[in-house]
Amino acid sequence: MMFWLLLVAGLAGGTYALRLVGPTVGARWQPGPTVTRLLEVAPVVLLIALAATATVAGESADDGGLNPARLAGVAVGAGLAWWRAPMLAVVLGAALITAGLRAIGLA
Amino acid sequence: MCSNNNTAIGRIVQREVWPVCAAYALVGASFGAIAATAGMPWWVAPLMSLTVFAGSAQFAALGIVLAGGGLVAALVGALVINARLMAYGFQARDALGRSRGARLATAHLITDVNTALILREHDSHRRHRLFRQAGLWIFAVWNLSVVAGLLLGDRITDTAALGLDAVLPAILFALARPHLGAPAVRRCALTGAVLAIASAPFVPPGVPVLIALVACLLEAGPSRRFRRPGARS
């Protein structure tokens, strides 16, 4: 309970503070090109790293380990996203491939 | 480049924001459903969606917590993802409104979508109206779809049979996809993913994705030296 409250409060406060930096100090200070570049790249690196670890290890601590059905599902979903398919196709593709492979007995 | 300067705000919202809203509805519903099946208290997902209002970061926090990561790892990971909102704040500064109250309220609506949308607009009144309208649409759709997903997820008993564990990574990848066009960014992302997977067995849960951030230095280092001499204006 406390954990969740702190998580939501910390995230909400931190995110709003980040949103407010530009509007409040923007007249006096602007980030340089290196900082701007880092602000662009870091989120992408983190999202991809999280996608990779969640694919390999599973999303919850107790279903850990490499899982062929999940791996195939994520590969299909990621492939669809790569070729700019709509989000619906990405979600359904990943879920259906994984569910289908499990239905025919692949873990 | 096509100019939007005479197109009604409502038309632009219909043409450019509604399709994005459809995608976000799905991401929001998935977020709600995964939160419901993950066994967190029912109020966490909707409260987070209202107060944080940043899909990628919410998904990252959820992913890190589900992987067994602690509070600090989840906060750092999610806030790094939201650091880009700081850059958007500078770009959208003049579009937030005139009065202090309007600026404080509209700042909460800063997203990737409306920040990109106003790049083509030059009149500050139009910039504000477009920014606020697009932001409100996304805000409404995002929060309603999270609740819908939560209700849906409550009825799901076997997440593995439905392949839901493949949905989270696929969505994370799809959210990053628009930024993977530049080879330099792809190189950083790939290096980061390898670092995260390789370090996973040796560090506490949640930390591998933070280790991946070292890969950003690949980009910050060389490109800076690269750009300086050529930078004019």
Question: What is the CB neighbour count within 10 angstroms for residue B111?
Answer: 24
SS3 content of chain B, % helix, strand, coil (to 5): 75, 0, 25
Half-sphere exposure of A8 (CA within 13 A, CB side): 17
Helical ranges in chain A per DSSP H: 2-25, 33-57, 68-82, 87-103
What gap in Å lies between CA B202 and CA A25, rounded to an integer?
41
Closest alpha carbon within chain A to B184: A41
- The pair of three-digit structure tokens given for residue B100, joined into one six-digit string: 């202090």
Mean pLDDT of A52-69: 76
Extents of the domains making up chain B:
9-177, 180-233
- The pair of three-digit structure tokens given for residue A107, joined into one six-digit string: 């873990």
Q: What pLDDT, in 10s, does the model give residues B90-124?
A: 999 999 999 999 999 999 999 999 998 998 888 98
| ipTM higher than the 0.85 cut | yes
CA-CA-CA-CA dihedral for A8, A12, A14, A17, to nearest 10: -170
Q: Taking CB atoms and an 8 Å limit, are A45 and B224 in contact across chains?
A: no
Confidence of residue A15 (pLDDT cuts 50, 70, 90): very high
- The reported pLDDT for the residue numbered A58 is 66
- The reported pLDDT for the residue numbered B1 is 43
Q: Collect all residues of chain B within an 8 Å Cβ-Cβ radius of residue A102.
A: 160-161, 163
Can you give the pLDDT of all 233 residues of chain B as single tens digits?
A: 444 556 899 999 998 899 889 999 999 999 999 999 988 899 999 999 999 999 999 999 999 998 889 999 999 999 999 999 999 999 999 999 999 999 999 999 999 999 989 988 889 899 999 999 999 999 999 999 999 999 999 888 888 889 988 999 999 999 999 999 999 999 999 999 999 999 998 998 889 999 999 999 887 665 444 444 444 44
Contact A77, B166 (CB under 8 A): yes
Confidence of residue A107 (pLDDT cuts 50, 70, 90): low
Q: Taking CB atoms and an 8 Å limit, are B89 and A26 in contact across chains?
A: yes
- The reported pLDDT for the residue numbered A64 is 59
Is residue A10 scored above 60 in pLDDT?
yes
Closest residue to B163, CB basis, from A51, A56, A102 = A102
Q: Collect all residues of chain B within an 8 Å Cβ-Cβ radius of residue A44.
A: 176, 179-180, 185, 188-189
